[in-house]
Chain A
Amino acid sequence: MTGKEKLIPRFPHAHLSDLLLQYLVFVRHTEEVLGSYLWGQDASHVLHHHLFYHLNGKAPKTGDLSRVLENFTGEYLKVKLNVSTYRHLAAAIGRHLVVGIINAEEEMTTGMDAMAGRQTTTSEAIYGLQPGEVGKINERILSLFRSTARLWHAKVLRLELEGRVVTLDQILHPNTTMDDLAGKRSTGFGQSDLHSLIDHLKAIYEDSVVNKIVPLLMQAIEEKMADQFLHGGDTRLEHVDLQDMLPRHEEPQPSVGQKNKGKGRAIVPVSSIELYKGLIVTNSTPKGVRATGCTRYHDGG
């Protein structure tokens, strides 16, 4: 992608924006006057235009940001981060806290990419501002970037923000309104709200059914089978392969990132449901039927 310029809007949070405005209004002019007096006209020129400056009013140098980062992270986090290590850290934290991806190999389909200057298919489609498209830097694009920044402020920096912080799914949803992106309360029930509701219900379903009910069912089935075995029920132990059943009980849950894929679609852990369906059927089948825990129950039809 080298050779293509992009415009990346970034948004400080309200407190920082206010402080920065105060700094520029009240302090910068005095810096320019005193800097010029102490260090000459070159310093005056730098201080007149550049937001950041090097020692003695010189233009900022490459190592300045690393020096500042190392200073503050060393003091407050006890780990000295430079520009490179901080970018890696921010990417990892952003994936986990903002996007909800844990597996580093998973695709990151979010404006987080764009903010970091990375390019992925989705962020490119949504946020890519190529030179020929500069005129498209409009309210919508600014709002998308701002709401993504607000996610960072809320989830990573834990700042108290005015208004509602929209979810990443809402940010990425094409029907999310500008008011939603701005965190304003909407008066109606929009499609993005429906989308959030589906995600919410999906999470509740997975938590209640998969994590709570299925284990209870498994336990009940095991007890029933043991009871039948002890009291001479129809099912004989040699016909039931418990080893085939138990590992499926411990089937790993999909990661958060996997859950985020297929937005708007209820993800049903089919294998778990089929598992206990299979066990129920197996438990009531006549002799000669082998329980496998799979969707095919009967050996011979």
Chain B
Amino acid sequence: MVWDPEHKSIDVRGETIHLADIPTAYSKVLDQAKSLFKWLTEGIETALTFPYSDIVDDLNNSTPNYSFLQTPLLKEYRFRLISHLVQSPRFVLRVVDGDIEWNKVAAREWMRKAQELNGCLLFLIHVGSGQPARGTEVLSMLFRNMQNVHRSLFAIPGGLATILGYNKAWIYGILPFSLTYIVSLDKFSDREGEAHPPISPCPP
């Protein structure tokens, strides 16, 4: 890495990166992610109409499959999109005895876009959360507990946060212990009582 004398750009293996381009690049990926989210949700209402602080996460809960997404408050939102797709003739060919026969072409296209969005989020989280984690740590990120592995995405006051275990010796970043300090939202004042910022699906 070689800086230019004015510290406006940096050479990486012979290629120049201008510092001013980094925010622009980041914004473009963020816009791309929002656009993909809009495409995937097919125009359904995606605003969360409750304060963010109503989402309760228990960092200490190591029950398999536990996640802050289990908050009853979120239940009506979680099934909104799949309910919408089930009613779409583009996605559903027929329903036999309660089993849905999906249109595989439409389903594959939808999943391809979903995976693009997933890639955008991977980039945005890796670049946008400060000094980057190591690759294995990021990729191993869980949002639900597994049988013996604690999740690493939490809903804490002020927004979602990742808490990743770090050990140079690890091949696969898991947390081999449970967090012993229960952090509940009422211990914090940050954003407490504040209405969740209007989460509009995407800019028009």
Listed in ascending order, the chain A residues whose CB lies under 8 Å from chain B are: 1-31, 33-35, 37-38, 48-53, 55, 60-62, 64-66, 68-69, 71-73, 76-79, 81, 83, 85-94, 96-97, 102, 112-113, 115-117, 131, 134-139, 142, 145-146, 148-149, 152-153, 156-159, 182
Contact = CB atoms under 8 A, between A and B. Distances in A.
Interface residues of B, number: 109
A78 B159 CA distance: 32
Contacts of A152: 128-131
Given A3-B167, A9-B163, A51-B143, 5 more contacts: A13-B128, A27-B37, A28-B143, A85-B12, A131-B177
Contacts of B77: 25-26
A6 B144 CA distance: 20
Contacts of A19: 30, 33-34, 37, 121, 124
Interface of B: 1, 3, 7, 10, 12-13, 15-17, 19, 21-26, 28-30, 33-34, 37, 40-41, 44, 46, 48, 52, 59, 65, 69, 74, 77-82, 85, 100, 102, 104, 107-108, 110-111, 114-115, 117-146, 151, 153, 155-156, 158-170, 175-177, 179-181, 183, 187-188, 190, 196-197, 199, 201
Contact of B190 (A6, A97, A182): A182
A157 B7 contact: no
Contact of B69 (A25, A76, A112, A117): A25
Nearest to B174: A5
A38 B37 contact: no
B23 A159 contact: yes
A31 B1 contact: no
Given A37-B102, A78-B15, A156-B22, A3 B169 contact: yes
Nearest 3 pairs of A and B residues by beta carbon: A17-B159, A76-B25, A115-B131
A117 B162 CA distance: 14
